Amino acid sequence: MIRDHKPTVIQKFNGLWARGDELTCPETHFTDCQNLQFFTGGFRTRDGIAPYQSEDEALPDAIRIYNYKTQDAEGLLVLTTGGNIYHVIGPDTVYGPILTLTDMTDFGFTQIAGRAYITPFATYQDDLGKNYQKGLEDEFLYVYLGEGADARKAAGPAPTGVGFTAVNSATSGFTDAGFHIFAVVYETDTGYLTAPGPAIFATLTTLADKRIDLSSIPVSPDSYVTKRHIIATKVVVNYNGDQTGYQFFFVPTGTIEDNVSTTKSISFYDFELLEDASYLLYNLAEIPAGVALTTYHGRLVLGATFEDESLVMVSQIGEPEAISELDGYVIFPLDSYPITNAQEFRDILYLFKMTKTGAVVDNGGEPSTWPFQFIDQGAGTSVHGIAKVLDSEGININFLIIAAYSGILLFNGSYSRPDLTYNIENYWLDLDRNEFHKLHFANDSVSAYLYTAMPDGSLLFADYTEGLNLKNIKWCPWVFDGVVSTVALVETNKLVIGIREEEE
Is 274 part of any domain?
Answer: yes
CA–CA dist 177, 89 (Å, integer): 58
Angle at 350 between CA 133 and CA 398, to 5 degrees: 125
Per the structure, the count of domains in the chain is 1
H or E element that contains 392? none
CA–CA dist 360, 226 (Å, integer): 36
CA–CA dist 201, 197 (Å, integer): 7
3-state secondary structure 38-82: EECCEEEECCCCCCCCCCCCCCCCEEEEEEEECCCCEEEEEEECC
Is 182 part of any domain?
Answer: yes
Is 235 part of any domain?
Answer: yes
Rounded CA Rg of the chain: 28
Is 81 part of any domain?
Answer: no
**pLDDT averaged over 10-residue windows placed end to end, the chain, 504 residues:** 66 88 89 91 88 87 94 93 95 94 97 96 94 97 96 97 96 96 98 97 97 98 97 96 96 97 97 96 97 96 95 96 96 92 95 97 96 95 92 68 96 94 95 95 93 94 94 94 93 91 61
Report the pLDDT value the prediction gives residue 394, as an integer from 0 to 100.
52
Report the pLDDT value the prediction gives residue 500, as an integer from 0 to 100.
84
Is 6 part of any domain?
Answer: no
b/e string for 346-357 if b means 16 or more Cβ within 10 A?
A: eebbbbbbbbbb
SS3 (DSSP) at 346 = coil
Q: What residues contact residue 297 under an 8 Å CB cut-off, 6+ apart? A: 317, 344, 349, 362
Q: Which of 443, 338, 447 lies closest to 397 in space, CA to CA?
A: 443
Which residues on adjacent β-strands are paired with residue 498? 486
Is 198 part of any domain?
Answer: yes
Write down the number of H helices and E strands in the chain.
1, 37
Report the pLDDT value the prediction gives residue 173, as an integer from 0 to 100.
95
What does DSSP assign to residue 276? B
Q: How far, in Å, are 57, 97, 279, 416 from residue 81 at the CA level? A: 16, 12, 40, 37
Sheet holding 197-206, edge to edge: 197-206, 178-188, 225-232, 249-256
Per the CB < 8 A criterion, the answer to whether 499 and 483 are in contact is: yes
Is 245 part of any domain?
Answer: yes
Per the CB < 8 A criterion, the answer to whether 443 and 455 are in contact is: no
Report the pLDDT value the prediction gives residue 395, as an integer from 0 to 100.
54
* Residue 456 CB coordination number (10 Å): 17
Residue numbers of the domain that contains 242: 165-281
CB burial of residue 35 (10 Å; 0-12, 13-18, 19+): middle
Per the CB < 8 A criterion, the answer to whether 391 and 489 are in contact is: yes
Q: Which of 434, 413, 412, 431 lies closest to 421 in space, CA to CA?
A: 431
* Residue 325 CB coordination number (10 Å): 13
Q: What residues contact residue 484 under an 8 Å CB cut-off, 6+ apart? A: 453, 454, 457, 458, 459, 478, 497, 498, 499
CA–CA dist 84, 63 (Å, integer): 10
Q: How many residues does the chain have?
A: 504
* Residue 411 CB coordination number (10 Å): 23
Q: Which of 57, 48, 44, 104 lies closest to 80 in space, CA to CA?
A: 104
Strand spans (E) along 113-266: 115-125, 131-135, 142-144, 152-153, 165-172, 178-188, 197-206, 210-215, 225-232, 249-256, 264-266
Furthest C-alpha separation in the chain: 116
Is 259 part of any domain?
Answer: yes
- Cα 335 versus chain centre, distance: 23
CA–CA dist 315, 193 (Å, integer): 12
